[in-house]
A and B are shown apart, each in its own frame.
Chain A
Amino acid sequence: MEQGREGSQRSVDPEALLPLTPAMFQIMLSLADGERHGYSILREVEWHTGGAVKLGPTTLYRSIRQMLAAGLIEEAEERPDPALDDERRRYYRLTSFGRQVALAEMRRLERLVAMARATSLGGQAGGLGFSAPGAPGMGGGE
Chain B
Amino acid sequence: MTPTSSPTHAPSGRRRLPRAVSMTLMVWSALLRICPRAFRRAYAAEMEQVFRAMLLDAWRERGLRGVVRLWAPALGDLLLGAGRRMVMI
Contacts and interface: CB of A to CB of B under 8 A. Distances in A.
Contact of A61 (B43, B54, B76): B43
Interface residues of B, number: 23
Interface string B46-89: 11111101100000000000000000011011101110110000
Interface in B5-62: 35, 39, 42-43, 45-51, 53-54
- Chain A contact patch, size range: 20 to 34
Interface of B: 35, 39, 42-43, 45-51, 53-54, 73-74, 76-78, 80-82, 84-85
30 contacts: A1-B42, A38-B47, A39-B49, A39-B53, A42-B50, A54-B73, A56-B73, A56-B81, A57-B47, A57-B48, A57-B51, A57-B77, A58-B35, A58-B77, A58-B81, A58-B82, A59-B80, A59-B81, A60-B47, A61-B39, A61-B43, A62-B81, A62-B85, A64-B43, A88-B45, A89-B46, A90-B46, A137-B77, A139-B73, A139-B76
